[in-house]
Amino acid sequence: QVQLAESGGGLVQPGGSLRLSCAASGGILRINAMGWYRQAPGKERELVARITSGDSTNYGDSVKGRFTVSRDNAKNTVYLQMNSLNPEDTAVYYCNAHISMSYYSARDYWGRGTQVTVSS
């Protein structure tokens, strides 16, 4: 029913910037929270940034001060502005959303992932 569509990934040089977008569609009553996770080769999936319906945010330690998460509630879209990128940021970035489909049903949804590569 619910789908998450990510865009904005690609190749960028160290020190550069990139902006990711994720739009949710389907049978949505309410989006309680949206965010981004990433997974690099040989590593576990980790939290990058997350924002709630009340606009409170959480960031992974490795991206604090460099990344900014925001949302557009009217478009059911979350954004991730990534600045001062370094090679350690190279990973597949996954959009995640906690969505209520009814007053009695809510669960997590995941996007397919978008590749971010930071290399000179």
User: Do the strands 67-72 and 91-102 form a parallel or antiparallel pair, or are they unpaired?
Assistant: unpaired
Rounded CA gap, 11 and 4, in Å?
Answer: 22
Rounded CA gap, 31 and 99, in Å?
Answer: 5
- The pLDDT of residue 78 is 97
**Across the chain, what does the average pLDDT equal?**
96
* pLDDT under 50: residue ranges of the chain: none
Rounded CA gap, 47 and 23, in Å?
Answer: 19
Q: What number of other Cβ atoms are within 10 A of residue 10's Cβ?
A: 11
Rounded CA gap, 114 and 90, in Å?
Answer: 11
